[in-house]
Amino acid sequence: MNSRTKIVILAAGKGTRMQADIPKAMTLFRGEPFIAHLLRAVEKSGIDTLPTIVVGHRANMVMDAVGDRALFSMQEKQLGTGHAVLCAKETLGEKADDIMVLYGDMPLIREETIKTLRRAHTESRAPITMMTVKVPDFNDWRASFDDFGRIIRDSGGSISAIVEKKDATPEERAITELNPAIFCFNGAWLWDNLKNLSNNNASGEYYLTDLVKAAIADKKPVHSIEADSREAFGINTPEHLAIAEKLFKIGKKDGA
């Protein structure tokens, strides 16, 4: 694989639901900030020796903790995931063949999964390769996945849409293949299409997920791989933090 892949980590958000006035990526998990766990997985993957972290709320706190292990881009206003990646464009430049987007609040993701996403993207030659997760139901610790977008597939098994829960019909809400919004993009395609995103939605934000819609509308393939749902578990509340601790221990027992 000769593809030069750069990794962008979105870490600009405030941990409001964590009941703390710190960047959510700086929340402690097993004695270290979330961002430290993710950076370790990125470093072990060997894909990008100097990833770019998008910072915002109390940016210096993240920058001081990370030091020279990453480059930084500033997102002054929280205008969505698409806007956050666009903020990283100047730091990244336009030379990267592919750009992978990860999140600072997912400390359980493993280096093997990061490598698998990169390899699948390189082999697919699609403009977008995305992770999906499947759960048997939305009970117990999986309840938070009920807020994820549903993956809609056509009769041939290809992704035809991502429907957010608030827009989903009862039948669509029953779908248990979900979108954790972890992507690897062809770099040139990403920059060409990112500038065309609209914020015409209830939140007034620019969403990366809308790029999937753009690719499908342009009849471009959207490739996917399935990841372990535990790795895509986003930590948004103190209750989620306690669940993540249990999932980590289960992963260790399973050899993950």
Predicted confidence (pLDDT) per residue in 191-217, tens digit: 999 999 999 888 889 999 999 999 999
* Beta strands 32-33 and 28-29, pairing class: antiparallel
CA 136 to chain CA centroid, nearest Å: 21
Q: Give the chain's radius of gyration (CA, Å).
A: 17
Residues paired with residue 159 on neighbouring β-strands, in sequence order: 153
Per-residue confidence band for 142, with pLDDT thresholds at 50, 70 and 90: very high
Q: Which domains does the chain have, with CATH numbers?
A: 5-254 (3.90.550.10)
- Single out the catalytic residue among 17, 40, 119, 153: 17
40 is catalytic: no
pLDDT at 10 over 90: yes
Average pLDDT over residues 120-147: 95
Give pLDDT, residue 253.
44
Per-residue confidence band for 156, with pLDDT thresholds at 50, 70 and 90: very high
Per-residue DSSP letters for the chain?
----EEEEEEE--B-GGGTSSSBGGG-EETTEEHHHHHHHHHHHHTS-SS-EEEE-TTHHHHHHHHGGGSEEEE-SS---HHHHHHHTHHHHTT--SEEEEEETT-TT--HHHHHHHHHHHHHH--SEEEEEEE-S-S-GGGGGGGGSEEEEE-TTS-EEEEE-GGG--HHHHT--EEE---EEEEHHHHHHHHTT----STT----TTHHHHHHHHTT--EEEEEE-TTTT----SHHHHHHHHHHHHHHHHHT-
188 or 93, which is more confident? 188
pLDDT at 16 over 90: no
CA 24 to chain CA centroid, nearest Å: 14
